[in-house]
Amino acid sequence: MKHFLSFMICAAMLSFVACDKSDDNKDVNPTPEAASAVGKVFVTQTDGSEFSKDSVSVSLTYAEDSMTITMFKVKFAERMPLELDMTIGGVQYSNNGGDIKLWGDNIVPQAMGGAFPKYTITNLDGKVGDGKISFSMMCGEFPTRFEGTLKQ
């Protein structure tokens, strides 16, 4: 009986420890709110020159496990006949309570109603913080980067 009583006391203590879940750590790093920015896109051309486009708007929308970057009215070369909206979905991110680190690889962007596999995004790496956003990536064979300021 003595062993049974000791067993029951230990079991009761373990159940209290196992069930002691505190909400104190819940949402320490919550999903960030959507944001938008305006900045400049820089694209290294095949001849080594750099093309840049000012006043490009970017929106950031977050889900629990990834984010989407949409670039509005962007051109990637002087000879590009039109500006387009390009969406890069499935971008990974981590929220450290301040700066947000973003990264991604092998993401097929969407533009003009369809996929653009020729311009698959690789080596995407960036940061959102201190009122700014910057990211770099390969857009197909073209090194591309964006530097902007978050809108308030």
What is the bridge-based pairing of β-strands 100-104 and 67-74?
unpaired
Which residues fall within 8 angstroms of residue 35, CB to CB, at 6 or more apart? 59, 60, 128, 133, 150, 151
Burial class (CB in 10 A: 0-12, 13-18, 19+), 60: buried
- At residue 29, the pLDDT reads 57
In the CATH scheme, what is the code of domain 35-150? 2.40.160
Instruction: Give the phi and the psi of residue 64 in degrees, each rounded to 5.
Output: -65, -35
Which pLDDT belongs to residue 98? 81
How much is the pLDDT for 3? 44
- Please identify every stretch of the chain with a pLDDT value under 50, giving residue numbers as ranges: 1-23, 25-27
How confident is the model at residue 88, as a pLDDT?
98
- Please report, for the chain, the start and end positions of each structural domain, with discontinuous segments joined by +: 35-150
Q: Is the pTM of this model over 0.85?
A: no
Q: So what's the pLDDT on residue 8?
A: 44
| Alpha carbon distance 58, 87 (integer Å) | 10
